[in-house]
Structure 1
């Protein structure tokens, strides 16, 4: 008999109570139930190409479901832009959008589930993507996601302090005035140099912590500490390859953000699926 899932609203109503109960249960295993450390493989640039090809294949096989699973991500980005203008905080627009990429691994969790099921030879749809809340490791995934959210907020506060230290505490009268302050004054160029340098450090921390941790938590009951340590170990063993992966992710996110963030509806699913396959190549 064919499996039917109804529309997104009826599905959400049916699963809300069960998900809440499951979340309470999964919060008790944040430390994991497996005590063995995952083994790390050596990675090569060919692994990145293979992961991207596999990610594109997954996306082509489940385009509508994958896009539905991440549509909230670009919408949230647009909301951040609107809020920035409404609060006259145009100096935080770029930090908000750049730092928003830190939350990409959280937005892609449902995509990992789709790739995982396709890898096992099972059909997958949008309900399976959102059904990740019923996974044994969802409590740990939620905690790690909150950690990335905290890192994002720290970055925004840091970016604001850098602006105050260089250009000053007074907000620009308009967006055009802000651009002149940034690109036509020495204080503005100081802000750019310092901001990019500090932002790179934040991005490096986020990459090290999350490059394989979310897929690992979904795939095995290892707990948050083991997932984070494993992710850092992957980067330490393969620094060049992982930094190249970070550059690929950053470049694609920028390209996807150019048409009013609309391109992210395509880019995020491809990167999400590819991240799952990179995890499979990196961790035994």
Structure 2
């Protein structure tokens, strides 16, 4: 593990003081998930309680969309959830921080610590929410451009859309557009939120440092992003029930990624 002096896109922000970042190996990144699982085992109660709460909210939104006849929005919202998921894991970053420092992690104290950083956390959260809204809008616009109609009911989506002649081009364009947006969001949020909880740092400096960390460790972070996406999708495919486990696991693992990447 070494410090990086490589140039970064954030060099365009000369007035933003930010921490240095480390160069890590793929082997080191493989330990983040194991350490996250260890934290989950140390705090199973808070993990499942908070994770289950988010799972119930997501499931309620799913039922609500079906009830009002907007089930066609479920798929783009699932993609949007992946973009804002780092914000929903803030409580888990704080629990991992307390475990690392040997501090107790009762819910009230943990939540209070998160609320104390509400300003910069909210600033990053607004960026993530904006990205989600942009993604949903782009998904609807792309669908209209390729199919010229409103999205069909979810039950007819795969047959009515994916079997159409233009489906391959639609999926290719959607993948490129969604991938570009997801890459930007990942770079901004990879370590910025746990960093805000751990340090006295602005949202802009935290996001700039996160970009530095991703830019310095591109190969490692591509693999890490793929791991996060895979685990999140597994949680979504269970009807959001699996989020009760996957969200805390990824939150804890992200804390350890931050600790490894930022000096």
Compute the TM-score of the two structures, normalised by the length of structure 2: 0.88
| Relative contact order higher in (CA < 8 Å, ≥ 6 apart) | 2
Q: Which of these residues, 219, 238, 241, is aligned with residue 262 of structure 1?
A: 241
What is the DSSP-based 3-state SS (H/G/I as helix, E as strand, rest coil) of the residue aligned with 1:170? coil
Does 1:169 pair with 2:153? no
Name the counterpart of 2:107.
Answer: 126
What is the CA-CA distance between 1:89 and the residue it aligns to? 3.5
- In structure 2, relative to structure 1, the CA distance for the partners of 1:130 and 1:217 (3 Å cut) is same
Name the counterpart of 1:76.
Answer: 57
Q: Work out the CA distance in 2 between the residues paired with 1:227 and 1:128.
A: 23
Does 1:59 pair with 2:50? no
Q: Work out the CA distance in 2 between the residues paired with 1:254 and 1:192.
A: 18
- In structure 2, relative to structure 1, the CA distance for the partners of 1:171 and 1:121 (3 Å cut) is closer
Q: Work out the CA distance in 2 between the residues paired with 1:133 and 1:273.
A: 15
Name the counterpart of 2:92.
Answer: 111
Compute the TM-score of the two structures, normalised by the length of structure 1: 0.82
1:65-214 matches, cutoff 5 A: 65-135=46-116, 137-172=117-152, 174-214=153-193
Structure 2: gaps (5+ residues): 1-15
Q: Tell whether the 8 Å contact from 2:188 to 2:207 is kept in structure 1 after alignment.
A: yes
What is the CA-CA distance between 1:125 and the residue it aligns to? 2.9
- In structure 2, relative to structure 1, the CA distance for the partners of 1:48 and 1:128 (3 Å cut) is farther
Q: How many residues align?
A: 248
Cα shift readout 1:155-176 (whole Å, capped 9, x = no counterpart)? 101100011111123342x433
Name the counterpart of 1:280.
Answer: 259
What is the CA-CA distance between 1:49 and the residue it aligns to? 1.8
Name the counterpart of 1:16.
Answer: none
Name the counterpart of 1:11.
Answer: none
Cα RMSD after superposing both structures: 1.7
What is the DSSP-based 3-state SS (H/G/I as helix, E as strand, rest coil) of the residue aligned with 1:144? helix
What is the CA-CA distance between 1:95 and the residue it aligns to? 1.3
Q: Tell whether the 8 Å contact from 1:217 to 1:223 is kept in structure 2 after alignment.
A: yes
What is the CA-CA distance between 1:221 and the residue it aligns to? 1.2
Does 1:40 pair with 2:21? yes
Rg comparison, structure with higher value: 1
Q: Work out the CA distance in 2 between the residues paired with 1:242 and 1:260.
A: 28
Q: Tell whether the 8 Å contact from 1:70 to 1:107 is kept in structure 2 after alignment.
A: no
Name the counterpart of 1:236.
Answer: 215
Name the counterpart of 1:247.
Answer: 226
Q: Work out the CA distance in 1 between the residues paired with 2:53 and 2:134.
A: 23
- In structure 2, relative to structure 1, the CA distance for the partners of 1:120 and 1:56 (3 Å cut) is same
What is the DSSP-based 3-state SS (H/G/I as helix, E as strand, rest coil) of the residue aligned with 2:173? helix
